């Protein structure tokens, strides 16, 4: 019997969902509200020099690699399974968009982190 | 083509008939916001890789009032995701037995939310301390 690949996608969904639950709100507040509006954090907190130093460090790379792809895998899996609930019985096409999008995002993340250098 | 047209119950708007399903659809809907935020971060990362001008362009876009309103919506939906994630967790995780007794659902939900609160403070503290 062929082994199911479901645990892999469920695992990525679960890991992304957990990260989004624990770090998501604070992260959105930092990057989307505090820094753009200059409240609580310094307006230049996300300056080019700061963010390059962050993205060039191993910790920064690991953080970005955990957050961005796992958020996309979490969302892709959940959206794929919700399509049924809104009356779209998607097959291969929907799978390709949801999981393919997450995979593409993962590859772009890897490429960007590599081209930023160490 | 068969002439039989068996009755099929219409499915449109099924979830609006029950508050439980409305809540379910909203928490499933948080995925759209998680995806959108992931894409925003990804675009930022690509801009960072392209150099200082591209990065500053991304930062300027983040300052646009529409971007801030968008992020306020993402913050609300992401927080709702946190809340429902831990609320549902007692039902989705294997039972935890401590000292012969099953861990109460409220402990799991409360524990998750407490971890979120502590992690948020640590993240904000790090961002504040490292960029001052």
* Cα gap B78→B72, rounded to integer Å: 10
Q: Exposed (0-12), middle (13-18) or buried (19+): which is B77, by Cβ within 10 Å?
A: buried
Q: Which one has a higher pLDDT value, B80 or B15?
A: B80
| Cβ of residue A42 closer than 8 Å to a chain B Cβ | yes
Q: Which one has a higher pLDDT value, A66 or A87?
A: A66
Nearest residue to B28 (alpha-carbon basis) of A84, A67, A41: A84
Angle at alpha carbon of residue A20, lines to B128 and B129, rounded to 5°:
10
Q: Above 70 in pLDDT, residue A4?
A: yes
* Closest in B39, B40, B124 to A30, CB measured: B124
Asked if A18's CB is within 8 angstroms of B85's CB, the reply is yes
Number of domains in chain A: 1
Residue B19: the pLDDT is 85
* Cα gap B58→B45, rounded to integer Å: 9
Give the burial string for A40-72 (b: 16+ CB within 10 Å, else e).
Answer: ebeeebbbbeebbebbeeeebbeebeebbbbbb
Residue B95: the pLDDT is 85
Q: Establish if A83 belongs to a structural domain.
A: yes
Asked if A46's CB is within 8 angstroms of B115's CB, the reply is no
pLDDT of A44-64, one tens digit each? Answer: 999 999 999 999 999 999 999
Percent of chain A whose pLDDT exceeds 70: 99
**DSSP label of A41:** S
Across A18-22, B7-11, B53-57, B59-63, least confident range: B7-11
Q: Exposed (0-12), middle (13-18) or buried (19+): which is A2, by Cβ within 10 Å?
A: exposed
Residue A114: the pLDDT is 97
Nearest residue to B83 (alpha-carbon basis) of B110, B104, B123: B110
Q: How many residues does chain B have?
A: 132
Q: Which one has a higher pLDDT value, A8 or A61?
A: A61
Give the pLDDT mean for A75-86.
91
Averaged confidence pLDDT in chain A: 93
* Cα gap B50→B47, rounded to integer Å: 5
Structure tokens at A14: 């679960």
* Closest in B71, B124, B132 to A26, CB measured: B124
pLDDT of B116-129, one tens digit each? Answer: 999 999 999 999 99
Residue B5: the pLDDT is 84
Task: List the domain boundaries for chain B.
Answer: 19-131
Which residues is B101 bridged to in the sheet? B98
Q: Directed axis angle between helix A58-83 and helix A48-56, to 10°?
A: 90
* Residue bearing tokens 């609006």: B16
Q: CA torsion angle for A6, A7, A11, A17 (degrees, to 10)? A: 50
For residue B78, the chain A residues in CB contact (below 8 A) are: 20, 24-25, 28
Nearest residue to A22 (alpha-carbon basis) of B107, B34, B51: B34
pLDDT of B5-33, one tens digit each? Answer: 888 777 777 778 888 888 899 999 999 99
Q: Above 70 in pLDDT, residue B1?
A: no
* Cα gap A47→B89, rounded to integer Å: 38
Q: Establish if A32 belongs to a structural domain.
A: no
Structure tokens at A83: 């399509």
Q: The domain that contains A97 carries what CATH number?
A: 1.20.1300.10
- Identify the domain containing residue A107 by its residue range: 8-19+45-116
| Cβ of residue B74 closer than 8 Å to a chain A Cβ | yes
* Closest in A22, A75, A111 to B119, CB measured: A22
For residue B79, the chain A residues in CB contact (below 8 A) are: 24-25
The tally of CA atoms less than 13 A away on the side-chain side of residue B57 is 11
ipTM of the complex: 0.94
Residue B67: the pLDDT is 98
Q: Establish if A49 belongs to a structural domain.
A: yes
Question: Are B34 and B78 within 8 A, CB to CB?
Answer: yes
Give the pLDDT mean for A18-42.
96
Written out in words, the top-level CATH class of the domain with range B19-131 is mainly alpha
Q: Establish if A106 belongs to a structural domain.
A: yes
């Amino acid at each position: 019997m062929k082994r199911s690949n479901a645990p892999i996608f469920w695992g990525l969904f679960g890991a992304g969902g957990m990260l989004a639950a624990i770090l998501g709100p604070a992260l959105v507040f930092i990057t989307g509200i505090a820094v753009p509006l200059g409240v609580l954090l310094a307006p230049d907190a996300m300056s080019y020099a700061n963010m390059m130093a962050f993205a060039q460090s191993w910790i920064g790379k690991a953080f970005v690699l955990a957050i961005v792809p796992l958020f996309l895998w979490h969302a892709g899996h959940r959206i794929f399974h919700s399509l049924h609930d809104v009356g779209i019985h998607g097959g291969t096409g929907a799978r390709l968009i949801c999981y393919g999008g997450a995979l593409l995002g993962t590859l772009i993340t890897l490429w960007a982190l590599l081209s930023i250098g160490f | 083509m068969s002439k039989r047209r068996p009755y099929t119950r219409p499915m449109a708007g099924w979830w609006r008939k029950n508050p439980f399903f409305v809540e379910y659809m909203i928490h499933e809907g948080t995925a759209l916001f998680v995806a959108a935020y992931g894409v925003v971060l990804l675009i930022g990362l690509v801009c960072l890789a392209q150099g200082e001008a591209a990065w500053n362009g991304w930062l300027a876009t983040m300052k646009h009032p529409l971007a801030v309103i968008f992020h306020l919506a993402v913050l609300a939906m992401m927080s709702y995701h946190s809340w429902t994630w831990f609320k549902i967790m007692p039902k989705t995780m294997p039972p935890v037995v401590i000292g012969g007794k099953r861990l109460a659902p409220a402990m799991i939900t409360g524990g998750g939310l407490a971890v979120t609160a502590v992690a948020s403070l640590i993240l904000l503290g790090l961002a504040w301390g490292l960029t001052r």
